[in-house]
Amino acid sequence: MFLLIFFTSFLLQSQLGIGMRGSGDPYGASSSGPASSPDEPIADPSNFSLVELTVLIRTLLEIKQDDLIERDNVDKEMIIIFKEKVENVIGRFNLSGDDLANEGVNKFEELILYYNSMMNQRDEYKIIYINNHYYEDEIIELIEKRLKDFNFTMGEQRYMNFLEKCDINDKEDLIHLRKHEQNLFNCLLQYSARTFKVERNLFILWNLYTFTRKLIRSFLAFHADDSHYNNELNEYYTKNQRPMFVF
Protein backbone atom coordinates (compact mmCIF):
# COMPACT_ATOMS: atom_id res chain seq x y z
CA MET A 1 0.00 0.00 0.00
CA PHE A 2 2.82 2.39 0.85
CA LEU A 3 5.08 1.44 -2.09
CA LEU A 4 4.14 4.39 -4.27
CA ILE A 5 4.24 6.89 -1.46
CA PHE A 6 7.76 5.69 -0.63
CA PHE A 7 8.73 6.33 -4.26
CA THR A 8 7.20 9.80 -4.45
CA SER A 9 8.58 10.76 -1.04
CA PHE A 10 12.03 9.68 -2.22
CA LEU A 11 11.74 12.03 -5.19
CA LEU A 12 10.54 14.82 -2.93
CA GLN A 13 13.42 14.33 -0.49
CA SER A 14 15.83 14.36 -3.43
CA GLN A 15 14.50 17.78 -4.38
CA LEU A 16 14.87 18.90 -0.77
CA GLY A 17 18.50 17.86 -0.68
CA ILE A 18 19.26 19.86 -3.82
CA GLY A 19 17.35 22.88 -2.63
CA MET A 20 18.81 23.11 0.85
CA ARG A 21 22.47 22.23 0.30
CA GLY A 22 24.61 25.25 1.10
CA SER A 23 21.60 27.54 1.15
CA GLY A 24 22.52 29.68 4.16
CA ASP A 25 20.45 32.84 4.55
CA PRO A 26 18.92 33.51 1.11
CA TYR A 27 18.20 37.11 2.03
CA GLY A 28 21.64 38.19 3.14
CA ALA A 29 20.36 39.40 6.50
CA SER A 30 21.93 38.84 9.89
CA SER A 31 18.64 38.90 11.80
CA SER A 32 15.56 36.73 11.58
CA GLY A 33 12.27 36.07 13.31
CA PRO A 34 11.80 33.60 16.15
CA ALA A 35 12.78 30.01 15.44
CA SER A 36 9.40 28.77 16.63
CA SER A 37 5.94 30.06 17.36
CA PRO A 38 2.98 28.80 19.42
CA ASP A 39 0.92 29.07 16.24
CA GLU A 40 3.26 26.87 14.24
CA PRO A 41 1.43 23.96 12.54
CA ILE A 42 2.30 20.57 13.99
CA ALA A 43 2.80 17.62 11.66
CA ASP A 44 0.46 15.33 13.60
CA PRO A 45 0.05 12.20 11.43
CA SER A 46 -3.39 11.53 12.90
CA ASN A 47 -4.58 14.75 11.25
CA PHE A 48 -3.60 13.65 7.74
CA SER A 49 -4.98 10.87 5.58
CA LEU A 50 -2.99 9.00 2.96
CA VAL A 51 -4.96 10.81 0.25
CA GLU A 52 -4.08 14.22 1.73
CA LEU A 53 -0.42 13.33 2.10
CA THR A 54 -0.18 12.02 -1.44
CA VAL A 55 -1.89 15.11 -2.88
CA LEU A 56 0.69 17.25 -1.09
CA ILE A 57 3.62 15.19 -2.37
CA ARG A 58 2.31 15.13 -5.93
CA THR A 59 1.77 18.88 -5.88
CA LEU A 60 5.22 19.69 -4.51
CA LEU A 61 6.80 17.49 -7.16
CA GLU A 62 5.26 19.79 -9.76
CA ILE A 63 6.61 23.00 -8.21
CA LYS A 64 10.17 23.40 -9.48
CA GLN A 65 12.56 25.89 -7.93
CA ASP A 66 13.68 27.01 -11.38
CA ASP A 67 10.07 27.86 -12.23
CA LEU A 68 9.82 30.22 -9.25
CA ILE A 69 12.64 32.45 -10.49
CA GLU A 70 11.32 32.77 -14.04
CA ARG A 71 10.36 36.31 -15.00
CA ASP A 72 6.67 35.40 -15.38
CA ASN A 73 6.50 34.00 -11.83
CA VAL A 74 8.58 36.38 -9.70
CA ASP A 75 5.53 38.53 -8.90
CA LYS A 76 3.23 35.56 -8.22
CA GLU A 77 2.55 34.53 -4.62
CA MET A 78 3.21 30.95 -3.54
CA ILE A 79 -0.43 30.45 -2.54
CA ILE A 80 -1.44 31.16 -6.16
CA ILE A 81 1.25 28.87 -7.58
CA PHE A 82 0.23 26.09 -5.18
CA LYS A 83 -3.46 26.45 -6.08
CA GLU A 84 -2.68 26.15 -9.78
CA LYS A 85 -0.57 23.03 -9.29
CA VAL A 86 -2.88 21.32 -6.80
CA GLU A 87 -5.88 21.92 -9.08
CA ASN A 88 -3.99 20.07 -11.82
CA VAL A 89 -3.32 17.16 -9.46
CA ILE A 90 -6.92 17.06 -8.19
CA GLY A 91 -8.28 17.18 -11.73
CA ARG A 92 -5.88 14.59 -13.11
CA PHE A 93 -7.01 12.00 -10.57
CA ASN A 94 -10.71 12.99 -10.53
CA LEU A 95 -10.63 14.08 -6.89
CA SER A 96 -12.52 17.38 -7.22
CA GLY A 97 -15.44 15.99 -5.21
CA ASP A 98 -13.31 14.09 -2.71
CA ASP A 99 -13.74 15.44 0.83
CA LEU A 100 -10.35 14.20 2.04
CA ALA A 101 -8.49 15.73 -0.89
CA ASN A 102 -10.26 19.09 -0.55
CA GLU A 103 -9.74 19.13 3.21
CA GLY A 104 -6.06 18.46 2.65
CA VAL A 105 -5.80 21.36 0.21
CA ASN A 106 -7.23 23.69 2.87
CA LYS A 107 -4.67 22.45 5.41
CA PHE A 108 -1.78 23.00 3.03
CA GLU A 109 -2.95 26.49 2.09
CA GLU A 110 -3.10 27.40 5.79
CA LEU A 111 0.46 26.10 6.11
CA ILE A 112 1.62 28.33 3.24
CA LEU A 113 -0.05 31.35 4.84
CA TYR A 114 1.70 30.52 8.11
CA TYR A 115 5.15 30.50 6.49
CA ASN A 116 4.30 33.73 4.70
CA SER A 117 3.38 35.33 8.04
CA MET A 118 6.79 34.26 9.36
CA MET A 119 8.38 36.34 6.61
CA ASN A 120 6.19 39.32 7.50
CA GLN A 121 7.43 39.10 11.07
CA ARG A 122 11.00 38.70 9.92
CA ASP A 123 10.70 41.83 7.74
CA GLU A 124 9.36 43.88 10.64
CA TYR A 125 12.28 42.81 12.83
CA LYS A 126 14.75 43.61 10.06
CA ILE A 127 13.40 47.13 9.54
CA ILE A 128 13.56 47.83 13.28
CA TYR A 129 17.12 46.49 13.42
CA ILE A 130 18.23 48.64 10.47
CA ASN A 131 16.74 51.80 11.94
CA ASN A 132 18.38 51.16 15.32
CA HIS A 133 21.81 49.89 14.27
CA TYR A 134 22.68 51.09 10.75
CA TYR A 135 24.58 54.29 10.04
CA GLU A 136 23.32 56.60 7.30
CA ASP A 137 25.89 55.48 4.73
CA GLU A 138 25.07 51.82 5.48
CA ILE A 139 21.36 52.46 4.89
CA ILE A 140 22.09 54.17 1.58
CA GLU A 141 24.37 51.29 0.57
CA LEU A 142 21.63 48.78 1.44
CA ILE A 143 19.04 50.61 -0.66
CA GLU A 144 21.48 51.03 -3.54
CA LYS A 145 22.21 47.29 -3.58
CA ARG A 146 18.52 46.39 -3.44
CA LEU A 147 17.73 48.76 -6.29
CA LYS A 148 20.11 46.74 -8.44
CA ASP A 149 18.56 43.48 -7.25
CA PHE A 150 15.04 44.62 -8.13
CA ASN A 151 15.71 43.78 -11.77
CA PHE A 152 15.84 40.11 -10.78
CA THR A 153 13.07 40.10 -8.18
CA MET A 154 10.37 41.99 -10.10
CA GLY A 155 8.47 41.37 -13.28
CA GLU A 156 9.76 43.46 -16.18
CA GLN A 157 6.82 45.88 -16.32
CA ARG A 158 6.73 46.34 -12.57
CA TYR A 159 10.45 47.08 -12.53
CA MET A 160 10.12 49.70 -15.28
CA ASN A 161 7.21 51.34 -13.45
CA PHE A 162 9.24 51.39 -10.25
CA LEU A 163 12.22 53.11 -11.88
CA GLU A 164 9.97 55.68 -13.51
CA LYS A 165 8.12 56.43 -10.28
CA CYS A 166 11.21 56.72 -8.08
CA ASP A 167 13.41 58.54 -10.61
CA ILE A 168 16.56 57.33 -8.84
CA ASN A 169 19.61 56.90 -11.05
CA ASP A 170 22.57 56.90 -8.68
CA LYS A 171 23.78 57.20 -5.11
CA GLU A 172 23.57 61.00 -5.19
CA ASP A 173 19.83 60.78 -5.73
CA LEU A 174 19.52 58.65 -2.60
CA ILE A 175 21.55 61.15 -0.56
CA HIS A 176 19.30 63.92 -1.82
CA LEU A 177 16.20 62.00 -0.75
CA ARG A 178 17.70 61.36 2.66
CA LYS A 179 18.30 65.06 3.23
CA HIS A 180 15.29 66.67 1.59
CA GLU A 181 12.51 64.07 1.31
CA GLN A 182 12.72 62.02 4.49
CA ASN A 183 9.25 60.47 4.23
CA LEU A 184 9.88 59.23 0.70
CA PHE A 185 13.30 57.94 1.73
CA ASN A 186 11.82 56.02 4.67
CA CYS A 187 9.22 54.45 2.38
CA LEU A 188 11.98 53.40 0.00
CA LEU A 189 13.96 51.92 2.91
CA GLN A 190 11.00 49.85 4.09
CA TYR A 191 10.37 48.69 0.55
CA SER A 192 14.02 47.73 0.09
CA ALA A 193 14.26 45.90 3.42
CA ARG A 194 11.28 43.65 2.75
CA THR A 195 11.59 40.30 1.05
CA PHE A 196 10.16 39.96 -2.42
CA LYS A 197 7.68 37.35 -3.53
CA VAL A 198 10.28 35.22 -5.29
CA GLU A 199 12.39 35.19 -2.10
CA ARG A 200 9.35 34.35 0.01
CA ASN A 201 8.33 31.61 -2.39
CA LEU A 202 11.71 29.89 -2.16
CA PHE A 203 11.58 30.13 1.64
CA ILE A 204 8.06 28.69 1.72
CA LEU A 205 8.93 25.90 -0.73
CA TRP A 206 11.95 24.80 1.32
CA ASN A 207 9.83 24.75 4.48
CA LEU A 208 7.11 22.76 2.73
CA TYR A 209 9.75 20.22 1.72
CA THR A 210 10.91 19.93 5.32
CA PHE A 211 7.38 19.77 6.72
CA THR A 212 6.39 17.05 4.24
CA ARG A 213 9.49 14.96 4.89
CA LYS A 214 8.80 15.05 8.65
CA LEU A 215 5.14 14.28 8.05
CA ILE A 216 5.97 11.25 5.89
CA ARG A 217 8.20 9.77 8.58
CA SER A 218 5.66 10.47 11.33
CA PHE A 219 2.81 9.15 9.21
CA LEU A 220 4.46 5.82 8.49
CA ALA A 221 5.62 5.35 12.09
CA PHE A 222 2.21 6.30 13.49
CA HIS A 223 0.18 3.98 11.29
CA ALA A 224 2.53 1.06 11.89
CA ASP A 225 1.26 0.86 15.49
CA ASP A 226 -2.15 2.55 15.37
CA SER A 227 -5.52 1.49 14.00
CA HIS A 228 -6.54 5.04 13.11
CA TYR A 229 -5.74 4.62 9.42
CA ASN A 230 -7.70 1.36 9.15
CA ASN A 231 -10.67 3.12 10.70
CA GLU A 232 -10.30 5.94 8.18
CA LEU A 233 -10.25 3.40 5.36
CA ASN A 234 -13.44 1.75 6.58
CA GLU A 235 -15.21 5.08 7.02
CA TYR A 236 -14.07 6.28 3.59
CA TYR A 237 -15.23 3.08 1.91
CA THR A 238 -18.60 3.15 3.68
CA LYS A 239 -19.22 6.74 2.60
CA ASN A 240 -17.96 6.52 -0.98
CA GLN A 241 -18.53 2.82 -1.75
CA ARG A 242 -15.10 2.60 -3.31
CA PRO A 243 -11.69 1.82 -1.84
CA MET A 244 -9.13 4.49 -1.03
CA PHE A 245 -6.15 4.34 -3.35
CA VAL A 246 -2.68 5.80 -3.65
CA PHE A 247 -2.16 7.40 -7.05
Confidence (pTM): 0.67
pLDDT band at 117 (very low <50, low <70, confident <90, very high): very high
What are the tens digits of pLDDT across the range 196-219? Answer: 888 899 999 999 998 988 888 887
**pLDDT per residue over 20-57, tens digit each?**
333 333 333 333 344 444 455 665 666 788 888 899 99
110-115 CB contacts, 8 Å cutoff, 24+ apart = 110/41, 111/41, 111/208, 111/211, 112/78, 112/79, 112/82, 112/204, 112/208, 113/79, 114/39, 114/40, 114/41, 115/203, 115/204, 115/207, 115/208
Where are the chain's structural domains?
135-193
The more confidently predicted of residues 103 and 224 is 103
Highest mean pLDDT among 55-59, 143-147, 223-227, 237-241: 55-59
